[in-house]
């Protein structure tokens, strides 16, 4: 009987330590790169009226490219992105709510709730590819 109680005690101690270990891992905070943090701040503080002005604070490659296949939009470089993409954002008075942001390697993914001026709401995902200088080089808006 003593051996059984001792075995149960050891098992429960090991089990508790494993659970505490898992809790520590879950409590770790997400650490984002400087560029991912800039994207996050842009999304959290997004105002369609100041769309490109706010976006221009995020480091981007000179010839960065954005494609939004479901909207039939595509642009390369700051001028086209401002005219085409942010033209659409202004026209629709697009509101964005950041649900989550995840960084994995040189990809940053934002999960969004989007609302247009007509009240249409939909979920969206934006994937940003960062180059070796940690600049946005490609954006997929899905």
- For 53-85, the pLDDT digits (tens) are 999 999 999 999 999 999 999 999 999 999 999
Residue-wise over 8-41: b if at least 16 C-beta within 10 A, else e?
eeeeeeeeeeeeeeeeeeeeeeeeeeebbebbbe
DSSP codes joined into one string, 106-126: TEEEEEEEEE-TT--EEEEEE
Q: What is the pLDDT of residue 24?
A: 42
First to last CA, the chain: 63
Residue 50, both tokens: 């100041």
Q: What is the pLDDT of residue 140?
A: 98
Q: What is the pLDDT of residue 28?
A: 47
Q: Which residue stretches of the chain have pLDDT < 70? A: 1-29
Query: Quick count: other Cβ atoms within 10 Å of Cβ 89?
Result: 19
Q: What is the pLDDT of residue 22?
A: 46
Residue 127, both tokens: 């994937």
């Amino acid at each position: 009987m003593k051996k059984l109680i001792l075995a149960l005690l050891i098992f429960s101690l090991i089990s508790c330590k494993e659970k505490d270990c898992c809790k520590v891992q879950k409590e770790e905070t997400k650490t984002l790169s400087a560029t991912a943090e800039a994207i996050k701040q842009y999304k959290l503080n997004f105002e369609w009226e100041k769309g490109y002005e706010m976006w221009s604070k995020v480091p981007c490659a000179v010839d960065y490219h954005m494609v939004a296949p479901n909207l039939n939009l595509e642009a390369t470089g700051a001028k086209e992105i401002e005219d085409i993409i942010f033209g659409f954002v202004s026209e629709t008075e697009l509101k964005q709510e950041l649900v989550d942001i995840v960084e994995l390697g040189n990809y940053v993914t934002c999960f969004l709730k989007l609302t247009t001026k007509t009240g249409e709401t939909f979920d969206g995902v934006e994937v940003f590819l960062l180059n070796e200088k940690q600049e946005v080089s490609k954006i997929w808006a899905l």
